[in-house]
Amino acid sequence: MSNEVMLIRGGIPLEGTVRVSGGKNTSVAVMPATLLSDEPCVIENLPDISDVHAMVDILSSLGAKVSFRDGRMEVDPTSVSSSQVGYEHARRLRGSYYLMGVLLGRYHEFEVAQPGGCDIGLRMIDQHLKGFRALGASVEERNGIVTAKATRLTGAKINFDQVTVGGTINVMLAACRAEGNSILLNAAKEPHVVDVANFLNSMGASIKGAGTDTIRISGRPNLHGSSYAVIPDQIETGTLMIAAAATHGDVVISNCIPTHMEALTAKLLEMGVRVEEQGDAIEVRGAGPHRGVRVKTQVYPGFPTDLQQPMSALLTTASGDSEIYETIFENRFRHVDELNRMGANIRVSGRLALFTGVPELLSAPVTVTDLRAGAALLVAGLMASGETEIHAPEYIDRGYEHIEDKLRALHADIRRERLG
């Protein structure tokens, strides 16, 4: 845990316009995907977050020439000289697992340590490995390291036993340089699956059907360089929408894709929040009482699990009862104790959280346990009267670019201090 603390004096309605940054979960896949090319690539709109910096370090450690400045990364993959990603690198982010698909597709082998990332459940990767095996790789897991080798990679039909975002993208990455055709069935449909497919197609890959549950890939022997900008972050957009509602503010969230937000928008409307789409912006007006609602997390286009935690902060003060049923990860309620410390009334039973609305949240010292728990506590801090002290705020830096600056520009009273 760092010795920093985030301090928020809450109760101020957020007001103004805020611009959404590039997507975290698409960036951490598009960045390694550049290694599938035989030529340099340029990626733009990358967020300045710690997960992106961790991925820059991994690509550099493999021998790629990488420069990253002002959201723009130039990668020359022609100097890559290693197919090994050790524990020190892999543990820094979940997205390190994408090096498996990329290195297998490009070099027909990899030795990559099991990925790190937020502790929100078991987070298996068996479906990724099942896909690699179907493409012809022999795969072993030993001492926390996954190794794979293939003399030839050949297209295959892969039916995922479980809808998995990471697994879908990882197998797509490897399959686009396999010989012949692949079909991925029961594929994830999240916006970043589509974004990664669009990037790969811009490099000369042939991927059809991304965004549906059936993805068809014709493998290509070579991919060329490309210049690409990643899509805006769906979860940052949603977190800002929730924060606007939770503070009874009036915020225009610009540079976003409103169609990606429909599940959240529907819930906010149901609560009595006003939400209006304006081209590539969404205005959220949260004045007035909020009604309690029932939320069930689901794969896209359902309500995203990544927004369940910030949403739970908003639900603490909604009138009557609310509930959240988490279907994706079995341990994603670690923020609840902290919300209760701030006066919320939430009971968790397995995957179900039951809320009884309280009139207000009160400031308290709280600790972040994972990225979106951090987003929940940030929203709670903005709601609470008094000064909330958020410990371990570095988790928030994994996924939210310059969040204090953005919130300050919306009139929030927020700052970070070193302890001791």
Nearer to ligand EPU, 331 or 356 (CB): 331
Decide if residue 94 touches ligand EPU (CB under 6 A). Answer: yes
Question: Among 126-134, 318-326, 341-349, 410-418, which window interacts with ligand EPU (CB under 6 A)?
Answer: 126-134
Decide if residue 406 touches ligand EPU (CB under 6 A). Answer: no
User: How far apart (Å, rounded) are the C-alpha atoms in residues 72 and 67?
Assistant: 8
Residue identified by tokens 């549906």 is 212
User: How far apart (Å, rounded) are the C-alpha atoms in residues 216 and 128?
Assistant: 17
Residue 357 C-beta: closest distance to ligand EPU, Å: 26
Query: Which residue in the list 41, 118, 176, 256 is annotated as catalytic?
Result: 118
Which of 2, 17, 67, 124 contacts ligand EPU by CB under 6 A?
Answer: 124
Which of 89, 106, 108, 128 contacts ligand EPU by CB under 6 A?
Answer: 128
**Which residue's C-beta sits nearest to ligand EPU?**
166
Beta strands per DSSP E along 34-127: 41-44, 65-69, 72-76, 84-85, 109-113
Binding positions for ligand EPU, 62-91, rule CB under 6 A:
none
Nearer to ligand EPU, 185 or 287 (CB): 185
Q: How many residues at the interface with ligand EPU, by CB under 6 A?
A: 27
Helix axes 98-107, 126-134, angle to 10 degrees: 10
Cis peptide before 258 (omega within 30 of 0): no
Beta strands per DSSP E along 144-235: 145-149, 157-159, 181-185, 206-208, 214-218, 227-229
Decide if residue 185 touches ligand EPU (CB under 6 A). Answer: no
Question: Among 74-82, 124-132, 239-247, 275-283, which window interacts with ligand EPU (CB under 6 A)?
Answer: 124-132
Decide if residue 167 touches ligand EPU (CB under 6 A). Answer: yes
Return all residues near 169 (Cβ < 8 A) that are at least 6 apart: 29, 98, 101, 188, 192, 193, 196
Decide if residue 289 touches ligand EPU (CB under 6 A). Answer: no
Binding positions for ligand EPU, 28-57, rule CB under 6 A:
28
Helix axes 98-107, 24-33, angle to 10 degrees: 20
Contact (Cβ atoms closer than 8 angstroms) between residue 4 and residue 419: yes
Pull the structure tokens for residue 266.
Answer: 């529907």
Residue 352 C-beta: closest distance to ligand EPU, Å: 16
User: How far apart (Å, rounded) are the C-alpha atoms in residues 237 and 71?
Assistant: 18
Nearer to ligand EPU, 328 or 339 (CB): 328
User: How far apart (Å, rounded) are the C-alpha atoms in residues 328 and 326?
Assistant: 6
Residue 130 C-beta: closest distance to ligand EPU, Å: 7
User: How far apart (Å, rounded) are the C-alpha atoms in residues 192 and 184?
Assistant: 16
Question: Among 1-9, 23-31, 41-49, 223-231, which window interacts with ligand EPU (CB under 6 A)?
Answer: 23-31
- Of the candidates 412, 414, 383, 378, the residue with the CA atom closest to the CA atom of residue 398: 378
Beta bridge partners, 303, equal 297
User: How far apart (Å, rounded) are the C-alpha atoms in residues 229 and 249?
Assistant: 31
Binding positions for ligand EPU, 297-356, rule CB under 6 A:
305-306, 328-329
Largest interatomic CA distance in the chain: 64
Looking only at the bridges linking them, the beta strands covering 346-349 and 294-296 are unpaired
Which of 50, 164, 237, 363 contacts ligand EPU by CB under 6 A?
Answer: 164
Nearer to ligand EPU, 171 or 318 (CB): 171
Residue 142 burial by CB count (10 A; 0-12/13-18/19+): exposed, middle or buried? exposed
Active site residue 118: yes
Question: Among 102-110, 158-166, 225-233, 249-257, which window interacts with ligand EPU (CB under 6 A)?
Answer: 158-166
Binding string, residues 366-385; x marks residues near ligand EPU by CB under 6 A: -----xx-------------
Decide if residue 239 touches ligand EPU (CB under 6 A). Answer: no
Decide if residue 139 touches ligand EPU (CB under 6 A). Answer: no
Residue 183 C-beta: closest distance to ligand EPU, Å: 18
Decide if residue 231 touches ligand EPU (CB under 6 A). Answer: no
Residues that bind ligand EPU (CB under 6 A): 24-25, 28, 94-95, 118, 121-128, 162, 164-167, 235, 305-306, 328-329, 371-372, 399
Tell me the catalytic residues. Answer: 118
